[in-house]
Amino acid sequence: MKIVAVNGGPRKGKNTDQMLDAFIEGVKSAAPDAEVEVIRLYDYAFKGCMSCFACQMEKNRDDLGCRIKDEVSDLLRDTFHADGIVFASPIYYCNVSAQLRLFWERLQYPGHSPKMIPTALIYTMNANEEQTEQFMGKPLELNSWYLEGCFGVKPEVVCSYDTFQYNDSERFNAAFREPAARKKALHDQKFTSDLRNARDAGTRLVHKIKEVQK
């Protein structure tokens, strides 16, 4: 079983990274032999879709995939042919990071995957659940809709709200300073259970893969 874990966040060891690690732990606990390929998008120089439409040409119908040759060409192919995929991203301006959007443009435009591929989405954000629903509900719902259209299975969504962006708040411009005490209390209380949720979602992804491959 091959699972591709796409990390759309730039910061190593921070919220998104930790959530993705927990998810992978869940995968490994359910399928110790699973091969997990982690793709850290910020390590690669690449562009989004160039609208060349080569992926949609009749002559390419048996070999779906983006035709642009660059540092992520092989990674897109690996992702499109995986048994399961998890995408993780911090929320930037009410949606996933620009890097993940670039990757999605090229992953999804070629069309439907030839097989059903269970997917999961991990989002981390400063907003609380209510604010997320109010301001990001629609765009995040559309991300799931597009992924379901491409891979044939509705993605499971795991969120970590109220994330803590830095530990040394006093160093930052007051306009950006986090209300440290409140945020830290919320974070400590919630983040452990967020990691548990991510881990459980990893386990469920393995079960879903087995289900669709029966």
Ligand X SMILES: Cc1cc2nc3c(=O)[nH]c(=O)nc-3n(C[C@H](O)[C@H](O)[C@H](O)COP(=O)(O)O)c2cc1C
Which residues of the chain form contacts with ligand X (CB under 6 A)? 9, 11, 14-17, 90-94, 124-127, 163, 165
Sheet bearing 84-90, strands edge to edge: 35-40, 2-7, 84-90, 119-124, 156-160
Total residues belonging to the chain: 214
Considering beta carbons, is residue 79 or 163 the nearer one to ligand X? 163
Q: Could you tell me the smallest distance in angstroms from the CB atom of residue 103 to ligand X?
A: 16
CB closer to ligand X out of 89 and 119: 89
C-beta of 132: minimal distance to ligand X in Å?
7
Shortest distance in whole angstroms from residue 76 CB to ligand X: 23
Decide whether 99 or 108 has the Cβ nearer to ligand X. 99
At 195, list the tokens: 């990691």
Cβ 135 to ligand X shortest distance, Å? 7
Residues in a beta bridge with 90: 124
Nearest by Cα to 165 from 14, 18, 7: 14
Helix/strand/coil for 163: coil
Amino acid letter for position 191: F
Question: Between residues 58 and 170, which has the closer beta carbon with respect to ligand X?
Answer: 170
Q: What sign has the CA pseudo-torsion 63, 9, 91, 196?
A: positive
